[in-house]
Amino acid sequence: MDGGRTLLALFPTAVEVPHLRAPGELFDKYPERGAHLLAVSLDGVRFSAPVAVVAAFPNGGEINDHAVDGFVARGDRVFFYVHAGVPGTLTHLCPRWRPRGDRRPVSRLVRFALRKRALLRYTRDAVARLKEAPPDAPYEVNASGIFLV
């Protein structure tokens, strides 16, 4: 879309969100949020602040949905794929740890679409921010812990 000047990265993440814990809740771990994040790079070393494009289900710091390599542009959309229910990605769902009778999540490919125009705007903004920021500039994280500003 931009002549190969940028690299798009799509990757899963899970983060604990302490402020979402219910009053009196006694679990060891904080509630989590999960997402597939999109980021831009000009050199493959420094990336823009990521933005969440697809929610993901986290479980104990693990996510069993993973982005499939590449993007496909068709008409006014850019498609990407996520492999949902990747076998063996959640330790407690692996055959040797899984209680008898429990079923693994269904493994399937899911297609998502972004509007080409929106992706171009995001990419231009991300590139501008990358060019303005010094190489080691810190990012601020908002309360969700996923969306960087």
- Assigned domain for 141 exists: no
- Assigned domain for 127 exists: yes
pLDDT for 29 equals 58
- Assigned domain for 147 exists: no
pTM equals 0.71
Listed in sequence order, the residues at least 6 apart from 132 whose beta carbon sits closer than 8 Å to its beta carbon are none
In 7-143, alpha helices (H)? 116-132
Domain count, the chain: 1
Token pair listed for 90: 């959640």
- Residue 93, domain extent: 7-132
Token pair listed for 5: 């000047």
- Assigned domain for 142 exists: no
Residue type, 86: V
- Assigned domain for 2 exists: no
- Assigned domain for 149 exists: no
pLDDT digit string, tens, across residues 1-30: 677 788 999 988 887 776 655 666 555 556
- Assigned domain for 15 exists: yes
